[in-house]
Amino acid sequence: MKIYQIVKRLLIMILVWLVLVPSGFCGEPLTEINYRLKWLLNTSAAGDIYADRGGYFVENGLRVVVKSGGPERDPIKELELGRAHFGVASADQVIRALSKGAKVKVIAQLFQINPLQWIYRPDEITVSTPDDLKNKTIGITFGGIDENIMKAILAKSRINESQVHLYSVRYDFTPFYQGRVDLWPIYRNAQGPIIGARMEKAGETVGYFNPDAHGIHSVANSVITSDEILRDQPELVENFLSALLKGWEMAMDPDNAEKTIAMIHDADRDTPLAVIAEQLSLTRGFIQPNPDIPIGRIDVEAWKQTEQMMLDQGMIDIPVHIEKALEVR
Amino acid sequence: MLHRRIYQFFIIYCLGLSGLFAFKYTLGLSDYVIPSPTDVWSTAQEYLFPFSMDVLDTLGVAVVGHMISICLAAVVAVIGGKANWIGSFIKMAAYNIQAYPIVAVAPIIFILFGDGLTSRLLITAMICYFPLLLSFIGIVSQPVPDIEHFYDVTGQTTWWLPLKVRMFENTGKLITVISGSATVAMVGTIIAEFIAADAGIGYRIRIALYQSDLSKILVALFLIGICTSLYLFALEFMGKKIQQRMDVQ
């Protein structure tokens, strides 16, 4: 009799659990969304990692799958195919997509200054002004944003392309290490500390040519979503964006440096802690160059300049009026 | 035979393209994800000629790389086919080299040869030679007892004779393997250009990928298909002629 009662109670408990769990007894179910980054999980995604591992997405009722990116993964295409809800893309990708009819909106700009710069050896060459680029061998990724930026610098400085030697770069730095190329494009915050340390170890000095310092403001990583999501699910966008920007604010706060470094290292095991610390310190300057600038601010003028640059170089045929795709808060 | 191969390719290409457009219009995708037929057409008009030059450049490298890999596979198969220490060592080395991903080996190739023609040829040969090697080893290590026994008992056997006999007896198989590996040579060259060159259709595809320009890639794929069909036809034609001559003799 006693055993019968125990079994009966157990069955009732299981039934109650089965009924209550789907109806939200354990709290509101989380909305599952996919977030496609532009590149791999490293310091350039510090805030994304912080928002995810710090639990800010969950606090806002979201279960976000943060997916690393790469050259073969296009977040804009994934938005349109419904495989991602949000993504990270650079201005050139967004403008090119808009020119082909993609329905995409920019909801935040993560990098206020583009970290793309050119590394060189100051012992061998001096590159203080764009004029110093004359007669140099400059690495560019043909078809990449660095091609646009370098060609914009040359055009602005009235330097003919025949006055420089443009060298097609790949993923490995061998031609630069061998001295066959004078300037090589790198992401200052992510690759700079690694390549710079390697060169310094070999007894070489390191210099960086920064296009932004010479008036070329090209927009890098920005958060995007589709027109449809922005129109139909504004609450979702708000929840996602507030959690994401909170993550970025926390990650960029020097007081949280230790925690941020540990989180990044957890996602990017191959990069030593000391390198991540240096990368993070550099990243702060690109995300929030000035404390008055809120994290995530959309720099409309920089977007317009990027569009003009692409128009001038024939990368797009007609203006896309980029300001219409910017959701300035 | 040539026209049949070409129109068969046209059918396959058109079917693939139609499938892609059907997918685009069914899901209502923008031209950024999948270009419209007019976009592909205008890209073809603009890039057909420059891309044709690039594909011919690639084909040239593929042909030379294919020849190198045939020679390499033949040499390795002859040495590796021997049942001694050197033979097994060569075979082991050949198998190991093939196991390394080419993108990991590429930086070493750049250091040694730069990023010009030599690197393209080397990478093509590395990708192409292994399927050839496997077939060649199979052929040269398989005796033809009826004929070889005759030379053995008459005391006329040299180290070279069994090889000649085995290759002669398997000419048809050799021709099929060589013409079949032409596609691998073309693919190998495109990979080489993708990672290690600043010329050729593989390099153009890399730029198009950076620009998310599927129209250019579709035009490039069309030209690659045509060129590969032509090369395959040329090899099969030569093979047929060789076999006809041998049959007469």
Of the candidates B31, B32, B111, the beta carbon closest to that of A174 is on B111
Residue A296, token pair as written in the block: 């995530």
Of the candidates A143, A172, A174, the beta carbon closest to that of B210 is on A143
Which residue reads 């420059």 in tokens?
B50
CB–CB contact B33 A80 (8 Å): yes
Distance from CA of B44 to the nearest CA of A (A): 17
The verdict on domain B46-248 having CATH code 3.10.105.10 is no
CB–CB contact B110 A81 (8 Å): no
Name the segment(s) of chain A with CATH classification 3.40.190.10. 31-113+219-325, 116-214
> Residue ranges of the domains in chain B?
46-248
Amino acid B178: pLDDT: 87
Residue A20: is its pLDDT beyond 60?
no
* Mutation site, A166, A171, A174, interface B, largest B CB count within 10 A: A174
Amino acid B107: pLDDT: 73
Amino acid A262: pLDDT: 97
- The pLDDT-based confidence of A23 (bands split at 50, 70, 90) is very low
Mean pLDDT (whole number) for A133-141: 95
Distance from CA of B200 to the nearest CA of A (A): 13
Contact A226, A325 (CB under 8 A): no
Residue A192: is its pLDDT beyond 50?
yes
A85-119 pLDDT, tens digit each: 999 999 999 999 999 999 999 999 999 999 999 99
DSSP 3-state assignment of A116?
strand
Residue A298, token pair as written in the block: 């959309």
Amino acid A27: pLDDT: 63
Residue B179, token pair as written in the block: 């013409």
Order of all β-strands in the sheet with A207-209: A184-187, A116-120, A207-209
Distances in whole angstroms, Cα of residue A115 to Cα of each of A143, A211, A276: 18, 9, 16
* Count of residues in chain A: 329
Residue A2: is its pLDDT beyond 70?
no
ipTM of the complex: 0.79
Amino acid B81: pLDDT: 67
Residue A258: is its pLDDT beyond 70?
yes
CB–CB contact A80 B29 (8 Å): yes
Which residue reads 């198009």 in tokens?
B208
Mean of pLDDT over chain A? 91
Mean pLDDT (whole number) for A156-178: 89
Residue B192, token pair as written in the block: 């080489």
Distance from CA of A148 to the nearest CA of B (A): 11
Residue A160: is its pLDDT beyond 70?
yes
Residue A198: is its pLDDT beyond 80?
yes
Contact A11, A63 (CB under 8 A): no
Question: What contacts A312, CB < 8 A, 6 or more positions away?
Answer: A152, A155
CB–CB contact A143 B35 (8 Å): no
Query: pLDDT > 90: what percent of chain A?
Result: 76
The verdict on domain A31-113+219-325 having CATH code 3.40.630.30 is no
Residue B64, token pair as written in the block: 């030379």
Distance from CA of A89 to the nearest CA of B (A): 13
- Structure-derived torsion over alpha carbons of residues B129, B131, B134, B139, reported in degrees to the nearest 10: -90
DSSP string, A36-98: E-SS-SSGGGHHHHHHHHTTHHHHTTEEEEEE--BTTB-HHHHHHTTS-SEEEE-HHHHHHHH
* Count of residues in chain B: 249
| Beta pairing class for A222-226 and A86-89 | antiparallel
Amino acid A17: pLDDT: 64
CB–CB contact A93 B212 (8 Å): yes
Interface A:B, Cβ pairs < 8 A:
60
Tens of pLDDT along chain B (249 residues) come to 778 888 889 999 999 999 999 999 999 999 999 999 999 999 999 999 999 999 999 999 999 999 998 888 888 888 776 667 887 787 777 778 777 887 788 778 877 887 778 888 888 888 888 888 888 887 877 777 777 777 777 777 777 777 788 888 888 888 888 888 888 889 888 988 887 777 889 989 988 888 888 999 999 999 999 999 888 888 888 888 887 887 766
Between helix B201-210 and helix B214-248 the angle, nearest 10°, is 160
Contact B161, B151 (CB under 8 A): yes
- In 3D, which of B129, B126, B128 has the Cα closest to residue B113? B126
Order of all β-strands in the sheet with A62-67: A62-67, A31-36, A86-89, A222-226, A104-109
Query: Distance between CA A135 and CA A162 in Å, rounded?
Result: 9
Residue B163, token pair as written in the block: 């090889």
Residue A307: is its pLDDT beyond 90?
yes
Helices (H), chain B: 2-27, 37-80, 85-99, 102-113, 117-140, 145-153, 161-169, 171-196, 201-210, 214-248
Q: Which top CATH class is A116-214?
A: alpha beta
Contact A46, A283 (CB under 8 A): yes
Amino acid A24: pLDDT: 46
Report chain B residues whose CB lies below 8 A from the CB of A96: 32, 211-212
Residue A19: is its pLDDT beyond 60?
no
Distances in whole angstroms, Cα of residue B167 to Cα of each of A205, B78, B188: 60, 11, 26
DSSP state of A326: B
- Structure-derived torsion over alpha carbons of residues A93, A95, A97, A103, reported in degrees to the nearest 10: 120
Element (H, E) at A185: strand A184-187
Minimum Cα–Cα distance from A74: chain B residue: B212
Q: Which residue has the higher pLDDT, B104 or A210?
A: A210
CB–CB contact B30 A101 (8 Å): yes
